Amino acid sequence: MLTWKAIAPLCLLPLLGLASPSAALADPDALSKIVIGKCVPAEQASSTPGPCKLVDLAGRYAVLKDLVGKTQYLLIPTDRVEGIEAPEIGQANAPDYFEDAWEARRFMDESFGNPIPRDDVGLAINSMKGRSQNQFHIHIDCVRPDVLKTLAGDEAAIGTQWAPLPAPLLGHPYLAMRLEAPDLAKTNPFALLASQVPDAGKDMGDETLVAVATTFSDKQNGFYLLSDRVDALHADLASGEELLDHSCTVLGQ
């Protein structure tokens, strides 16, 4: 769940070129105002992304630096898309948002000053109850070292179909499956979740979805897909962003 304490004035965001989740606490439409209201018109007028790092008009997405963390970026549609519950993101002709986010990790390299190992990178979208913005966005950043350790230890138990992860992550019971592919270009994780997990298909708004890059024990590149569901009884808001580390501790290890 987003837990920023300092609130940065929204009026400063275009000057900084950054998105602030803390500003989202004041305005749940902050991201759409920045991307659709500022970045897209700037790209259309002068082929510059304005406060964004990138605007891909053909791909219908933008990449924006987040104020939190040195290497955290956000992938945001240039269309008005509310979030993981939007039915259009699971359709066959939907933009490849997760692949676009995966490719946008190159901006992490720029911020860090050196290439970041692929196996340290994760992509996360929060549930409706676990987010503070009304515009779809995927968090791109490093993965927590303890999460990487747990996933590595459970590799043998994670198959190509959704199943409960043997060990909880940050105290939450995630479902997990493995993707044996070097990227996400031919995969729609939203569709995989909605079509293969009955509860998710009934109400995607209560789901969080995370992709963690990995190299499997057979040396093949791939990903772990992880999902958690809102559980009000146990105060679980299904914020997969919790698996990311905006301090990028793993890079210091």
| DSSP characters over 64-121 | EEESSSSS-EEEEESS---STT-GGGGSTTS--HHHHHHHTTHHHHHHHTSPPPGGGE
Give mean pLDDT, residues 66-74. 96
Do 73 and 66 form a contact (C-beta atoms < 8 A)? yes
3-state secondary structure of 140: strand
Do 136 and 83 form a contact (C-beta atoms < 8 A)? yes
Q: What percent of the chain has pLDDT over 70?
A: 90
Neighbours of 174 (CB within 10 A): 24
* Residue 64: per-residue pLDDT: 98
3-state secondary structure of 250: helix
Residue 10 has pLDDT above 80, yes or no: no
Burial class (CB in 10 A: 0-12, 13-18, 19+), 216: middle
Burial class (CB in 10 A: 0-12, 13-18, 19+), 233: exposed
Rg for the chain, CA atoms, rounded: 17
Give mean pLDDT, residues 129-144. 97
* Residue 155: per-residue pLDDT: 97
Q: What is the DSSP letter of 244?
A: B
Do 175 and 227 form a contact (C-beta atoms < 8 A)? yes
Q: pLDDT by residue (tens digit) across 217-232?
A: 999 999 999 999 999 9
* Residue 28: per-residue pLDDT: 95
Query: Which pLDDT band holds residue 92 (cuts at 50, 70, 90)?
Result: confident
Residue 3 has pLDDT above 80, yes or no: no
What is the rounded average pLDDT for all residues in the chain?
Answer: 90
CA angle, 85 then 128 then 36, to 5°: 75
Give the domain ranges of the chain.
62-252
Q: pLDDT by residue (tens digit) across 151-200?
A: 999 999 999 999 999 999 999 999 999 999 999 998 999 999 999 999 99
Query: Which pLDDT band holds residue 20 (cuts at 50, 70, 90)?
Result: very low
CB-side neighbour CA atoms (13 Å) of 137? 32
62-252: which CATH number, 3.40.50.10190, 3.10.310.10, 3.40.50.2000, 3.30.428.30?
Answer: 3.30.428.30
The candidate with the shortest Cα–Cα distance to 253, out of 146, 161, 173, is 146
* Residue 253: per-residue pLDDT: 75
